């Protein structure tokens, strides 16, 4: 029989261990954020948001240089990827949740899980084969397709779980007034699950926005802003994660600090997206 | 659907607003005291609206109900009673093909609606459910819709957009469900903002909006307080002038109060059925007597 004192001491020890593990989890995040801000804040100026990068000599000669083409390119590539992934991913999620007996479902589930576990660089390779080779050029479109492959399995999963969280009684109520099944899903179940659906989509978006690997040989990167917005889709285009990588491995000090600044923007982008998702999830409850 | 549109456009609607004493008398006279008075003495006039023959429902290898044959009379209330798990809900859900969506459920035998088997292969279950509506144990307003949109959902979502039709149906259905006066000034507020009893009447209004001939009610008052329960029971009395009602209840007093016919189920079998006052006063089976007097169940 242990004394009360011994039990209290054990309790304290266990509690401290839990606190320590929490700190260990949080520490890398804090270090990354602090380090990125400290190193990148000096390169964040007006030029950064209004000028193109240009050749390395620009930076070395102290002429204005920035990443406006990267920020715009990221928006275009990511939004197009979302546009491509949303109908496919949501369609798969709806199938899994609303037609659980459908004979295609085991296949959809296995395919989706495999796609989810597949290394992102292979998705880039897939887009390379599907788009870059036939087009004969790197392109924003190819980058979007690669990122769409990153988003699809996440959207499918989050859609499935968001729809599953809606009580079955809502569907029966819809069917009982003589609505066809697809109409019940579209007009009663999906509106009821809207926060979950948006949250899942944002999480998929944020995940894909941070990926560099699928973009390396699809959208490729570009030091300049294309002359026409179509050039973003049909020609090579810059994106933040891939630009961050190129700046980091370049031999120029000024480019290094621009890389840190790019990291700040990317971090903000992801944090804002996740933050919105969190906010919406809380709205629901 | 044609039926519905006719009922909206014709000058004398087949569904009169029945709240006035005159219409109550009128409809009573027209039906030659059909539905409102006792049931025993006019057996010959009763018209069968629905009928099940040897209806068996299995969930995988488990039998839910076994060979149930039962007539459901037009414009009468049939109460299904019996202990939990006896197959009442299984029977009720077979009447509008709700089992189509239950994994592993198989239905054999036949369910006739106006003489036609609803399980025939060419029958579309969606059309059956428009003619045989259902109200569930818990109120189920569509969470994102207004009161108005909830009521007219069954019309609006199949493409009827004309607001004059929708307004008229909404008012008619809410009046039938005795909810109109309470919500007429806030039709645009969310359906979920209503109280539990009001939500259940909203569910009834929504079911009535598509003008079904038969209304199935699965313990519609089990989640409601006594006042709301009274209102729903009054409502059932009014509604049976126009629709045929099948109601599941665990409350024997309720069954006695609202129903014309009663069917007693026990472990998947239909033990006994007949006019409510006969079944409650002179049950043939001892199991029935024991159940209604509270000795088991």
Give the whole-angstrom CA distance, residue A220 versus residue A128: 10
Question: How many percent of chain A have pLDDT more than 70?
Answer: 99
Calculate mean pLDDT across residues A45-73: 91
Interface residue of B95, B144, B159 to substitute, partner A, most A CBs within 10 Å = B144
B235 touches B270 (CB < 8 A): no
CB contact under 8 A, B134 and A172: yes
Q: Which residue of B has its CA nearest to A186?
A: B157
Could you give the strand order of the β-sheet that contains B269-275, starting from the edge strand earlier in sequence? B132-135, B214-218, B244-248, B77-81, B261-266, B269-275
Q: Is residue B205 very low, low, confident or very high in pLDDT (cuts 50, 70, 90)?
A: very high
Q: Which residue of B has its CA nearest to A174?
A: B154
Query: A82 to chain B, minimum CA–CA distance in Å?
Result: 25
Cα–Cα distance list, B48 to A69, B76, B109 (Å): 76, 10, 18
Is B3 a residue whose pLDDT tops 60? Answer: no
Q: Which residue of B has its CA nearest to A173?
A: B140
Element counts in chain B: helices (H) and strands (E): 12, 10
What's the complex ipTM?
0.79
Q: What pLDDT is attached to residue B45?
A: 66
Of the candidates A170, A175, A180, which has its C-beta nearest B101's C-beta?
A: A175
SS3 A184: helix
Express each pLDDT in B41-58 by its tens digit: 444 568 999 999 999 999
B274 touches B245 (CB < 8 A): no
Give the whole-angstrom CA distance, residue A158 versus residue A203: 9
Q: Which residues contact B8 (CB under 8 A, 6 or more apart)?
A: B165, B168, B169
CB contact under 8 A, A177 and B210: yes
Q: Which residue of B has its CA nearest to A98?
A: B101
Give the whole-angstrom CA distance, residue B178 versus residue B17: 11
Task: For residue B98, list chain A residues with Cβ-Cβ distance below 8 A.
Answer: 172, 175-176
Pick from B27, B117, B111: nearest CA to B75: B27
Express each pLDDT in B106-159 by its tens digit: 999 999 999 999 999 999 999 999 999 999 999 999 989 999 999 999 999 888
Of the candidates B96, B101, B154, which has its C-beta nearest A179's C-beta?
A: B154
Task: For residue A101, list chain B residues with Cβ-Cβ distance below 8 A.
Answer: 103
Which has more confidence, B143 or B28? B143
CB contact under 8 A, B142 and A180: no
Say yes or no: B220 contacts chain A, CB-CB below 8 A. no
Say yes or no: B268 contacts chain A, CB-CB below 8 A. no
- The conformation of residue B190, written as its DSSP 8-state character, comes to B
Instruction: Give the residue carrying structure tokens 């600090």.
Output: A257
Beta strands in B11-131 (DSSP E): 48-59, 62-73, 77-81, 105-113, 116-117
Give the whole-angstrom CA distance, residue A232 versus residue A72: 9
CB contact under 8 A, A176 and B207: yes
Q: What pLDDT is attached to residue B6?
A: 47
Q: Name the strand (E) or helix (H) holding B265.
A: strand B261-266
Say yes or no: B127 contacts chain A, CB-CB below 8 A. yes
CB contact under 8 A, A172 and B136: yes
Give the whole-angstrom CA distance, residue B217 versus residue B245: 7
Is B8 a residue whose pLDDT tops 60? Answer: no
Query: B134 to chain A, minimum CA–CA distance in Å?
Result: 6
* Adjacent-strand bridge partners of B214: B132, B244
Interface contacts (A, B; CB < 8 Å): 75
CB contact under 8 A, B129 and A188: no
Express each pLDDT in A189-224 by its tens digit: 999 999 999 999 999 999 999 999 999 999 999 999
Q: What pLDDT is attached to residue B294?
A: 82
- The conformation of residue B263, written as its DSSP 8-state character, comes to E
Of the candidates A169, A177, A191, which has its C-beta nearest B206's C-beta?
A: A177
Of the candidates B134, B157, B158, which has its C-beta nearest A176's C-beta?
A: B134
Q: What pLDDT is attached to residue A48?
A: 93
Task: For residue A180, list chain B residues with Cβ-Cβ distance below 8 A.
Answer: 126, 158
Which has more confidence, B72 or A279? B72
Q: What pLDDT is attached to residue A229?
A: 81
In chain B, % helix, strand, coil (3-state, to 5) comes to 40, 25, 35
Give the whole-angstrom CA distance, residue B268 versus residue B266: 6
Calculate mean pLDDT across residues A251-269: 93
Q: What pLDDT is attached to residue B203?
A: 95
* Adjacent-strand bridge partners of B246: B78, B216
Query: A170 to chain B, minimum CA–CA distance in Å?
Result: 6
SS3 B109: strand
Task: For residue A172, list chain B residues with Cβ-Cβ distance below 8 A.
Answer: 98, 101, 134, 136, 140
CB contact under 8 A, A179 and B133: no
Is B27 a residue whose pLDDT tops 70? Answer: no
Of the candidates B96, B103, B157, which has its C-beta nearest A176's C-beta?
A: B96
Q: What pLDDT is attached to residue A1?
A: 61
Is A235 a residue whose pLDDT tops 60? Answer: yes
Give the whole-angstrom CA distance, residue A94 versus residue A88: 10
Q: What pLDDT is attached to residue A62?
A: 85
Mean pLDDT of all residues belonging to chain B: 85
Q: What pLDDT is attached to residue B296?
A: 66
Query: A282 to chain B, minimum CA–CA distance in Å?
Result: 17
Task: For residue A194, list chain B residues with Cβ-Cβ distance below 8 A.
Answer: 144
Left, alpha or beta for B52 (phi > 0: left; psi -120 to 50: alpha)? beta
């Amino acid at each position: 029989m242990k004394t009360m004192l011994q039990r209290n001491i054990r309790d304290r020890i266990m509690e401290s261990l839990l606190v320590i593990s929490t700190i260990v989890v949080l520490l890398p995040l804090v270090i990354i954020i602090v380090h990125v801000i400290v190193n990148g804040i000096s390169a964040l100026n007006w030029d950064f948001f209004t000028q193109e990068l240009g050749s390395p000599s620009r930076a070395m000669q102290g002429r204005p240089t920035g990443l406006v083409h990267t920020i715009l390119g990221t928006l275009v590539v990511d939004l197009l990827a979302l546009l491509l992934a949303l109908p496919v991913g949501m369609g798969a999620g709806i199938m899994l949740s609303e037609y659980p007996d459908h004979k295609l479902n085991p296949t959809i589930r296995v395919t989706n899980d495999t796609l989810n576990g597949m290394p992102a660089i292979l998705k880039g390779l897939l887009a390379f084969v599907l788009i870059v080779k036939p087009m004969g050029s790197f392109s924003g479109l190819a980058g979007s397709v690669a990122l769409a492959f990153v988003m699809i399995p996440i959207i499918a999963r989050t859609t499935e779980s968001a729809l599953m969280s809606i009580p079955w009684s809502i569907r029966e109520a819809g069917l009982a007034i003589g609505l066809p099944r697809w109409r019940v899903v579209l007009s009663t179940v999906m509106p009821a699950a809207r926060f979950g659906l948006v949250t899942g989509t944002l999480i998929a978006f944020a995940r894909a926005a941070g990926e560099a690997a699928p973009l390396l040989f699809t959208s490729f990167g570009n030091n300049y802003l294309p002359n026409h917005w179509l050039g973003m889709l049909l020609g090579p285009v810059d994106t933040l994660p891939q630009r961050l990588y190129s700046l980091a491995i370049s031999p120029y000090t000024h480019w290094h600090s621009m890389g840190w600044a790019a990291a700040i923007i990317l971090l903000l982008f992801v944090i804002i997206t996740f933050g919105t998702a969190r906010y919406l999830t809380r709205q629901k409850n | 659907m044609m039926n519905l549109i006719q009922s909206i456009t014709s000058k004398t609607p087949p569904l009169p607003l029945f709240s006035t004493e005159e219409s109550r008398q009128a409809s009573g006279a027209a039906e030659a005291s059909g539905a409102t008075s006792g049931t025993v003495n006019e057996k010959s006039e009763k018209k069968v609206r629905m009928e099940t023959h040897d209806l068996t429902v299995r969930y995988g290898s488990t039998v839910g109900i076994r060979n149930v044959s039962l007539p459901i009379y037009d414009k009468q209330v049939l109460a299904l009673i019996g202990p939990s798990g006896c197959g009442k809900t299984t029977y009720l859900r077979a009447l509008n093909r709700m089992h189509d969506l239950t994994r592993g459920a198989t239905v054999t035998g036949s369910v006739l609606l106006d003489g036609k088997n609803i399980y025939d292969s060419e029958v579309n279950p969606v059309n059956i459910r428009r003619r045989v509506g259902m109200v569930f144990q818990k109120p189920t307003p569509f969470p994102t819709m207004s009161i108005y949109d909830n009521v007219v959902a069954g019309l609006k979502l199949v493409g009827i957009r004309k607001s004059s039709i929708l307004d008229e149906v909404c008012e008619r259905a809410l009046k039938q469900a005795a909810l109109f006066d309470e919500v007429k000034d806030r039709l645009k507020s969310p359906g979920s903002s209503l109280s539990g009893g009001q939500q259940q009447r909203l569910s009834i209004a929504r079911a009535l909006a598509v003008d079904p001939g038969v209304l199935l009610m699965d313990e519609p008052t089990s989640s409601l307080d006594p006042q709301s329960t009274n209102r729903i029971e009054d409502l059932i009395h009014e509604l049976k002038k126009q629709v045929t009602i099948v109601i599941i209840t665990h409350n024997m007093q309720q069954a006695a109060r609202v129903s014309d016919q009663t069917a007693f189920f026990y472990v998947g079998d239909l033990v006994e059925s007949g006019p409510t006052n006969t079944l409650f006063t002179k049950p043939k089976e001892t199991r029935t007597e024991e159940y209604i007097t509270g000795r088991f169940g």
